[in-house]
């Protein structure tokens, strides 16, 4: 996922035709690594979490990755403009609350991911904010073209994220969490994902010129095929490798098409 964040952010610079701030793709990649390795600090406590970082086994290596990623992300922040820093901290706060419960005004609030039907929309919001809008804010004026581009990104990410809710159907059910597949069923959820991808591809025609459109068409066709192949019998690598990898595939395909 860190590589997906890095390549997706670089694609934004390429599509917007603006100079690359190399620290931002790196920041997105590192913060994604931190996000996917958030330890259960609310259960362990900070001292215990820090202690575990020195022990060499898989759960503790995840803690170490988290702490190192947070430290490096803090350093990279100095290379952003003010509005980018505000957006990044906003997205970071959502990502932490998504995974961990928080205390607010003396009340304990559950992780955002445990609110029925909400988690997919938060994932899409954070991805679009970090990969698409973070590189643009303060660098160019956000107009109609950029808004349409952001909606296109949202539809793409919604289409590739919904299969994960299908994958996690029974896991979510065990903790009484309802997601879109619980409401629609597997087949309709997959149809919704495909329709989201079709909607995203339709918006490409309003935002990009023909050479870029060809790259998007090819990448969307590949993504659609991968999403259609998702089901409960697929192993985890199909989702974390292929479906997450569609972000990387799209960036590569568009870059190659433009070079031809």
The span from the CA of 102 to the CA of 92, in Å, is 14
- Note the pLDDT tens digit of each residue in 167-221: 999 888 988 999 999 999 999 999 999 999 999 999 998 888 888 899 999 999 9
Residue 146 has pLDDT above 90, yes or no: yes
* Nearest one of 20, 164, 17 to 9, comparing CA atoms: 20
Report yes or no: 139 and 13 within 8 Å, Cβ to Cβ. Answer: no
The span from the CA of 117 to the CA of 182, in Å, is 9
Q: Which residues pair with 103 in a beta bridge?
A: 108
Give me the helices (H) in the chain, please.
2-16, 23-35, 41-44, 46-52, 58-76, 82-99, 119-127, 134-136, 144-167, 169-174, 180-184, 186-207, 210-228, 236-237, 244-259
Residue 73 or 180, more confident: 180
- Reported as a pLDDT band with limits 50, 70 and 90, residue 53 is very low
The backbone torsions φ and ψ at residue 80, rounded to the nearest 5 degrees and listed phi first, read -105, 155
* Nearest one of 63, 2, 11, 5 to 250, comparing CA atoms: 11
Report yes or no: 195 and 147 within 8 Å, Cβ to Cβ. Answer: no
Residue with tokens 């597949």: 181
The per-residue pLDDT for 165 is 94
Residue 70 or 26, more confident: 26
The span from the CA of 72 to the CA of 208, in Å, is 35
Weakest mean pLDDT among 24-28, 56-60, 124-128: 56-60
SS (H, E, C) 230-254: CCCCCCHHHHHHHHHHHHHHHHHHH
Helices and strands in the chain: count of H runs, count of E runs: 15, 2
Instruction: Report which DSSP code applies to 108.
Output: E
Q: What is the mean pLDDT of residues 118-135?
A: 96
The per-residue pLDDT for 62 is 64
Cβ count near 71 (within 10 Å): 11
The span from the CA of 250 to the CA of 11, in Å, is 9
Residue 7 has pLDDT above 60, yes or no: yes
Q: Where in the chain are the domains? A: 2-259
Residue 79 has pLDDT above 70, yes or no: yes
- Note the pLDDT tens digit of each residue in 221-246: 999 999 999 988 888 889 988 999 99
Kindly report the average pLDDT of the chain as a whole number.
Answer: 87
């Amino acid at each position: 996922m860190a590589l997906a964040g890095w390549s997706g952010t670089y694609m934004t610079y390429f599509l917007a035709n603006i100079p690359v701030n190399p620290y931002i793709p790196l920041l997105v990649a590192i913060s994604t690594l931190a996000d996917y390795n958030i330890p259960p600090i609310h259960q362990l406590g900070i001292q215990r979490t820090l202690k575990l970082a020195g022990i060499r086994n898989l759960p503790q290596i995840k803690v170490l990755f988290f702490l190192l990623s947070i430290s490096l992300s803090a350093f990279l922040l100095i290379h952003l403009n003010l509005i980018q820093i505000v957006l990044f901290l906003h997205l970071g706060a959502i990502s932490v609350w998504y995974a961990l419960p928080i205390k607010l005004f003396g009340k304990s609030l559950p992780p955002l991911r445990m609110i029925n039907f909400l988690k997919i929309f938060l994932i899409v919001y954070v991805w679009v904010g970090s990969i698409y809008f973070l590189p643009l804010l303060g660098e160019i004026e956000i107009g109609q073209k950029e808004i349409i581009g952001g909606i296109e990104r949202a539809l793409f990410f919604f289409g590739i994220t919904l299969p994960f809710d299908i994958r996690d159907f029974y896991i979510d059910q065990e903790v009484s969490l309802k997601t879109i597949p619980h409401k629609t069923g597997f087949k309709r959820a997959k149809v919704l994902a495909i329709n989201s991808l079709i909607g995203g591809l339709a918006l490409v025609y309003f935002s990009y010129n023909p050479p870029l459109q060809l790259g998007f068409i090819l990448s969307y066709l590949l993504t659609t095929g991968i999403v259609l192949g998702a089901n409960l019998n697929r192993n985890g690598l199909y989702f974390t490798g292929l479906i997450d990898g569609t972000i990387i595939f799209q960036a590569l395909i568009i870059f190659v098409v433009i070079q031809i």
